Structure 1
Amino acid sequence: MTAPTFEIDIDPVWPSTTDWEALAARAAEAAGAVAPELAHEHLLVSLVLADDEEVHALNKQWRAKDKPTNVLSFPMLSREEVLAAAAAPGAPGMLGDLILAHGVCLREAEEKCVAVEAHAAHLMVHGLLHLAGYDHETGEDDAAEMEALETKALALMGLADPYAALQ
């Protein structure tokens, strides 16, 4: 299975005991398995595992939300460009940027009673789907489609359905 390649920058607040690069590669492969437009070896994603302050500043600057959030996604290609790239050989290039906030991710993992690695994997899959043009904020059907893809991708990684407790 081919998948996007990550360029990763890891803030020291993220535990060094976890192989974040390997986890990101697994998340990309799982996302590509459920969203074939992501199964392209020439897609590049910048992944930043940041602290809350960095994500807070970016969220305020780019989304006018004065707080940190769990993951930010900044696509470089439109949905149409992603689909066209998936259908054509060659190098489509940079898919976009994903930035995860350590403190928010850690708090949410604790609230969900899951390992921070499992929650981070979920956020990576979620962010990749956003970069591919999926959007859960555009309607209930879109949200259900995105959640189903996330659940399938996480199952491929051996991780539980993060939405099961919410239903």
Structure 2
Amino acid sequence: MTLTIDFLDETNTVKDEAANQLESLLNFAAEQLQVEDGSEVSITFVGNERIREINRDYRNKDVPTDVISFPMEELGEGEMEIMGEGMPRILGDIIISIPKTEEQAKEYGHSLMRELGFLAVHGFLHLLGFDHETKEEETEMFSLQKDILEGYGLSRQQG
């Protein structure tokens, strides 16, 4: 099982080792969730100002946040699904604020890698259609996140 993951680091602070671990973690998650081989994901690391702008422009919330996902499989009004034989499944984009990641890792008392992994898996699950709008959805999504992170070896107390 291999995802195609495109990383863009606008902060120039994310080390290759962290990106490699995220790639491994998301491939583990994709395997657990039986996502099609060759599916594509984009992950962009940004600062707080950039994620605030994105949050404002797309979610009408003028504050920085930790992670935002843009699923490609959710069709907006008037959009058509494009299907083609042999085309990869394009899941969408995950945008992660590195300053928020650092702040939350410190606040929760775990490693930067654990928080980065949590946010990446959270965003990945959103790309796959999971949400936490209702109590039932939240229970399902957060349980799945926890199982993936622990199964991979990134539990809350570890790095």
Taking a change above 3 Å as real, the CA distance of residues 52 and 27 of structure 1, as seen in their structure-2 partners, is same
Alignment RMSD: 2.1
Cα distance in 1, alignment partners of residues 72 and 105 from structure 2: 29
Indicate the residue corresponding to 1:149 in structure 2. 144
Indicate the residue corresponding to 1:34 in structure 2. 32
SS in 1 for 2:11: coil
Structure number with the higher helix fraction is 1
Cα distance in 2, alignment partners of residues 90 and 15 from structure 1: 33
Give the alignment of 1:54-133 within 5 angstroms.
Answer: 54-78=50-74, 90-133=86-129
Where do 4+ consecutive residues of structure 1 move more than 4 Å?
none
How far apart are 1:11 and its partner, in Å?
Answer: 2.5
How far apart are 1:91 and its partner, in Å?
Answer: 3.0
Cα distance in 1, alignment partners of residues 31 and 143 from structure 2: 13
1:84-114 C-alpha deviation (Å, 9 max, x unpaired): x9xxx84343210000001111111101111
1:38-62 C-alpha deviation (Å, 9 max, x unpaired): 2x22211110011111111000000
Q: Which runs of 5+ in 2 are unaligned?
A: 76-82
Superposition TM-score, scaled by structure 1 size: 0.81
Taking a change above 3 Å as real, the CA distance of residues 3 and 28 of structure 1, as seen in their structure-2 partners, is farther
Residues 42 and 92 in structure 2, CA contact (< 8 A), matched pair in contact too: yes
Cα distance in 1, alignment partners of residues 30 and 14 from structure 2: 26
Over the matched positions of the two proteins, sequence identity in percent amounts to 28
How far apart are 1:31 and its partner, in Å?
Answer: 1.6
Q: Which runs of 5+ in 1 are unaligned?
A: 80-84, 163-167
Cα distance in 2, alignment partners of residues 117 and 54 from structure 1: 21
Aligned length: 149
Residues 42 and 90 in structure 1, CA contact (< 8 A), matched pair in contact too: no
How far apart are 1:14 and its partner, in Å?
Answer: 2.5
Residues 43 and 91 in structure 1, CA contact (< 8 A), matched pair in contact too: no
Indicate the residue corresponding to 2:6 in structure 1. 7
Q: Which amino acid aligns with 1:131?
A: L
